[in-house]
Amino acid sequence: MSLFEKFETAKLLKSGLATAGADPTGVVFDTLNSPTEGVVDGRAIILAGTNNYLGLTFNPECIAAGVAALESQGTGTTGSRMANGSYASHGKLEEELADFFQWPHAMVFSTGYAANLGVLTALLGKEDVVLLDSDAHASLYDGCNMSGADIFRFKHNDLQSLERRLTRLKDRANRCLIVIEGMYSVLGDCAPLAEIVALKNRFGAKLLVDEAHSLGVYGEQGRGVAEAQGVLDQVDFIVGTFSKSLGAMGGFCASRHDVLSLFRYVSRPFMFTASPSPAVMATTREALKQLRTRPELRASVWANARQLYGGLKALGLELGPEVGPVVAVRSKDRQTALANWNQLLESGVYVNMMLPPATPGGGSFLRCSISAAHSAGQIQTIIEKFSKL
Amino acid sequence: MKLSTKKVAGELATILAEYLKKGWVDTPASKQAITPETNMVSNLQMDSFQVMEFMLEVEDHYDVAIDLESLSNIQTILDLAGVVIAAHSE
């Protein structure tokens, strides 16, 4: 087998996707007119698959902050914080994130993916154990794999499955990190965090929660599912991203443990990556400020989520288990999903297509993500387009 | 109690057949008879995720912990039987 032969599988996948019309992995937006409107192949499109939960990508204050940072500090940092030093805005954002979670420490990474790699490889070593939810994001799998720890999966959101695995660990349980997400990104279902916290306390394990898709949307202050379920003070590490509700790019970890302040000396994905640019730090800081001071954004996301979920449910479609900012519509098979995704795009609605193997239960889904910036009329249009499939 | 490879491989073939009946792996290949020599990927066309999901069933059936890294060494039912027996003896 030659070096390149392994790409035959990818070639087959690519050609299979293209036969149904547009390639869902290769959509190009000619222009973006707002957080919810774009143009694809000259057609006006409603954006219903961008994870732009708070709709802040075109927020005037965020843009002004980014422009000011560009003009005053330049386009990039041209290196890592370990080698080139930090900009004041890196430290400011870390202070603001720590304050947001009311914890002593936060650390900024260049992407959400890098945050998960950076935190898991710093925290875990060969003698340690991870219990990983089976539906966890690829970045969590990759970080666990890179760490060298023993990895055992438990069934998605299944407390009995988690408890059995904690029991099997015996005295290794106190070297165990449970890794889960607050809200899972494909189906939009939330972890039973209060119960998971009770288990981790009983067995003396630690808990990391990825709030990438729940930050800004769940919890009274927008801190995520852990806050919404009243157990934030018992979670050990929160990781998340700036690229969804904060409309920028980058990732973070926050913790109530002092050990997080030492991660920057041992975390290779942090040490050997260029730090986030000044403009990214500026727009993220402004977006975080808006997240904290404009609860009406959360109210809008939830109103839109209820409208979309209710409307699609009334059509008799099979949806994810709970109302939330992600609404997943199950297709009967892969080909139907591909055909329906193309029809939606042609009729002016962009959603995400989720195909196995990277999906729960091996299903095929059309995944919508809701924004505070969607109008009621846009949500109604999305429902109407689904009704014609 | 010490497990025998032959016995465990036979049980695993039955567990896998039941698992496949649930419809998670719906290919013509997945409907063929399962023997200890059956390769889950090349014979049954299970993808990596489906194999991982099946492992969760196996772990609970035998009450053993199978590390994700072990997955790369498992292709046939016999391979899996060896991993189960090793995990059971720990």
Closest CA to B44 of B66, B27, B23: B27
pLDDT value, residue A356: 81
| B44 lies within 8 A of chain A by CB | no
- CB contacts < 8 A, A to B, total 45
Residues from chain B that touch A6, judged by Cβ atoms under 8 A, are none
CB proximity list for A340: less than 8 A, separation 6 or greater: A331, A366, A389
Q: Is A153 close to B52, i.e. CB distance below 8 A? A: yes
- Give the residue from chain B lying closest to A364, CA to CA: B24
B82 vs chain A: nearest CA distance in angstroms? 18
Tell me if A1 is assigned to some domain: no
What separation, in Å, do the N-terminal and C-terminal C-alpha atoms of chain A show?
Answer: 43
* pLDDT digits 0-9 by tens, B14-23: 999 888 877 6
pLDDT value, residue B29: 64
Residue A383 to residues A43, A157, A314, A388, Cα–Cα distance (Å) = 19, 29, 10, 9
We report the CATH number of the domain holding residue A310 as 3.90.1150.10
Tell me if A80 is assigned to some domain: yes
Choose one of A228, A259, A293: the last residue of a domain: A293
Residue A354 belongs to what domain range?
Answer: 20-49+295-387
Average pLDDT over residues A143-165: 96
Residue A345 to residues A9, A19, A289, A382, Cα–Cα distance (Å) = 26, 15, 34, 11
| A138 lies within 8 A of chain B by CB | no
Report the residue of A130, A147, A152, A169 to disrupt the B interface, i.e. the one with the largest count of B CBs within 10 Å: A152
Interface of A with B in 309-368 (CB under 8 A): 356-358, 361-362
Q: Are residues A175 and A307 in the same domain?
A: no
Phi/psi at A34 (nearest 5 deg)? -170, 180
Least confident of A91-95, A192-196, A322-326, B59-63: B59-63
Q: Is B69 close to A361, i.e. CB distance below 8 A? A: no
Q: Is A151 close to B69, i.e. CB distance below 8 A? A: yes
Tell me if A14 is assigned to some domain: no
For a pLDDT cut of 90, what percent of chain A falls above it?
91
Report the residue of B54, B68, B69 to disrupt the A interface, i.e. the one with the largest count of A CBs within 10 Å: B68
Q: Are residues A29 and A65 in the same domain?
A: no
Q: Are residues A223 and A368 in the same domain?
A: no
CB proximity list for A130: less than 8 A, separation 6 or greater: A120, A124, A144, A147, A149, A150, A151, A152, A176, A177, A178, A179
Q: B5-88 sits in which CATH class?
A: mainly alpha
- Give the residue from chain B lying closest to A152, CA to CA: B67
Q: Are residues A30 and A177 in the same domain?
A: no
Q: Are residues A361 and A376 in the same domain?
A: yes
Active site residues of A: 185, 213, 244
* pLDDT digits 0-9 by tens, B2-56: 778 889 999 999 999 888 877 666 666 667 788 899 999 888 888 888 888 899 9
Average pLDDT over residues A197-208: 98
Q: Is A150 close to B63, i.e. CB distance below 8 A? A: no
